[in-house]
Amino acid sequence: MLYGTITEFCTPDECPVMSAGLRYEYLWADNVTVKKPIKCSAPEYVDYLMTWVQTQLDDELIFPSKIGVPFPRTFMSVAKNILKRLFRVYAHVYHSHFNKIVSLGEEAHLNTSFKHFIYFVQEFNLIDKKELAPLQELIDTLLAKDAAA
């Protein structure tokens, strides 16, 4: 939802690469239609990602909706992959569009959403620490504020 507020600013011309600063570039592959990772613009990556996530969520073999139907053995790896990729959207927004988020008065919403996301993935060890590197300083700051409170 927050990404949706900046789509007019996150365009293929403005964001020709899906990145989180100069050191982190993300390529897209879903291992179904795109088997070899491809370089794409940030809005293309986010579109691929959201479509892929929705496909995963709609797949009854991965996310069964009926009571008593067990989750597959691969569920945890699928969930971790979804969350790792969603983190990349946060990383891109913070690195490339934070000034616009501030000008729209949305930084409190973004920070709160991100903080909840981080608490969840850390509580259940769902994203490797190295994947969090693009926003580690922000993560440390947000969590330190809670520890001090």
Please give the pLDDT value at position 146.
72
3-state DSSP percent of the chain in helix, strand and coil, to 5: 60, 5, 40
Please give the pLDDT value at position 148.
65
pTM, two decimal places:
0.93
In the predicted structure, residue 20 carries a pLDDT above the cut 70: yes
Average pLDDT over residues 94-104: 95
In the predicted structure, residue 118 carries a pLDDT above the cut 90: yes
**HSE (side-chain half, CA atoms, 13 Å) at 70:** 3
Structural domains counted in the chain: 1
Q: Which domain holds residue 90?
A: 3-148
Tens of pLDDT, residue by residue over 60-76, are 999 999 999 999 999 99
Please give the pLDDT value at position 124.
96
What are 25's strand-pairing partners?
A: 19
The CATH number assigned to the domain holding 92 equals 1.20.140.30
**What is the chain's mean pLDDT, rounded?**
94
